[in-house]
Amino acid sequence: MSIGSPKHPATGSTRTEAATGDPLGPVVKRWQFRFPKSLRTPLGFVGAAILVIWLILAIFAPLVAPFDPLAQDFPRLTGPGAENILGTDTLGRDVFSRIVVAARTTLPAAVFVVICSALLGSVLGAIAGYFGRAVDEIIMRIADLVFAFPTIILAMVIAAALGPGLKNAIIAILLVSWPSYARVTRSLVMTARSSEYVIAGRLLGFSAGRSLLREIAPNVISPVIVLATLDVGSAILTMAGLSFLSLGAVPPTPDWGAMISEGVSQFAAWWIAFFPGLCILTIVMAFNFIGDSLRDSLDPHTAQEVGETTS
């Protein structure tokens, strides 16, 4: 993969571009993500549009939700209709209100967990890749240990040990998801470490921190961002999985996974599980679309193709 083709820290351009472009032309810009361009792809548009809708729904949930999501005021197991547009659940609560309010916990929690695991994984991966030897061995073997278990099983074990609750579910997902970032960052840092500009910096007496932050980081951050965007979807899925198993948000907090779990024993009341399932589907798809578009945009090879097709 050429996602991680190094950019010159000063120019932000890739090596290939640097070789073919003006070698003397000083480009000051360091952080060049071309994010807006990525949205010009059809999938990027769709993903961004879905995400924006969900963000609006989540932010304005108290205004959008027609009823109190906890109030057991309606007849139980009523199908979608005029009053309860998405029906009611086994306790007589409005499914639509619960779905909308659930977005307020799921979305921030998923984004938060991904940011944390990306930070943790990248820092550890960068340390492993830059310093090598024993540090590398220790960090990467721990990562291998985590990789050895299926993600959801390990998350289940951790969440079960810590006890149910959103906080513990976040910790569990964080603990199982950092190694992928560590692995990606490590390999990128290892490549960048031997680049001439990094060696030059080292000869000039730059500290390891400065070298990592100012010279290597700009070249490795793009793939990490792509990975993180794609990971939000899986974080939402894992969180829903934990809630499905009663290891996520504690009732009565509305949660998509828990709602699906409730619907499993009520096949005839299909709306209880169907709509939360649809929510998970749309939001995960949106993040995947955006992630794909970002990857296309940030990967110099595909970026060229995308650029050709969209321009």
Partner 1 sequence: MKRLTRNFVAICSTLALTAGLAACSGGSDDSGGAGDTIVAETAFNLKTIDPHRQFEFTGSTIDNAVYQTALEFEDGDLTKPTDGLCSFEMSDDDKEMTLTLKDKDAKFSNGDPVTVDDIVFSFERLQGIKGNPSFFLDGVKVKKVDDETVKLISKDPNPALPYILPNASIGIVNSKVVKDNEGTTDENDGAEQFLNENSQGSGPYKVEKYDADSQVVLTANEHYSGPKPKFKRVVLRNVSAETQLTDIQSGQAQVAYDLNADQAKQIDESMGKISSLPSTRSLYIFNNTDEKLGGPAADPNFRKAVMAAIDYDKLVDLAGEGSQRMASLVPNEFVGAVSKDDAPERDLAKAKALLKKAGYDGEKIPFHYPSDQAVNGVDLAQLAETLQAQLKEADINLDLKPAPSSTQLDGFRSAKQPMGIGTWGADFPDPTNYNVFIPGGSVAERVNWGKDADPKLAELAAEASKAKDSDRDAAYKKLYKATTDTGVWIPLVQPVDTVAVGSSIQKFVSNADTSFDFAKAE
Residues at the site binding partner 1, with contacts judged by CB under 8 A: 70-72, 76-77, 90-91, 160, 163-164, 246, 250-252, 262, 264-269
Shortest Cβ distance from residue 268 to partner 1 (Å)?
Answer: 6
Shorter beta-carbon distance to partner 1: residue 71 or 278: 71
CB 171, min distance to partner 1, A: 17
Query: CA dihedral in degrees (62, 65, 70, 74; nearest 10)?
Result: 150
> CA–CA separation, 242 vs 238, rounded Å?
6
**205: its two tokens:** 């007496």
Closest distance of CB 250 from partner 1, Å: 6
Estimate to the nearest angstrom the gap between the alpha carbon of 24 and the chain centroid: 38
Please, which residue, 2 or 265, has the CB nearer to partner 1? 265
Taking the least distance from each CB to partner 1, the nearer of 161 and 203 is 161
- Sequence-ordered strand ranges (E) for the chain: none
- Cβ neighbors of 81 (< 8 A, separation 6 or more) are 87
What is the closest distance, in whole angstroms, from the C-beta atom of residue 167 to partner 1 in the complex? 14
Q: Least distance (Å) from partner 1 to the CB of residue 233?
A: 27
- Which CB sits closer to partner 1, 211 or 253? 253
CB closer to partner 1 out of 191 and 266: 266
Nearest distance in Å: CB 101, partner 1: 15
Kindly tell me which of 251 and 277 has the beta carbon lying closer to partner 1.
251
Kindly state the tokens that stand for 269.
Answer: 């009341």
Calculate the CA 127 to chain-centre distance.
22
Tell which residue, 130, 140, 300, 135, has the closest CA to residue 213: 130
Candidates 32, 64, 47, 2; CA nearest to 232 is: 47
d(CA 259, CA 244): 8
For the chain, the C-alpha Rg in angstroms (whole number) is 23
Least distance from partner 1 to the Cβ atom of residue 175, Å: 20
**Planar angle of CA 233, 107, 251, nearest 5 degrees:** 110
State which residue, 70 or 225, has the beta carbon closest to partner 1.
70
Cβ atoms of 7 and 13 closer than 8 Å: yes
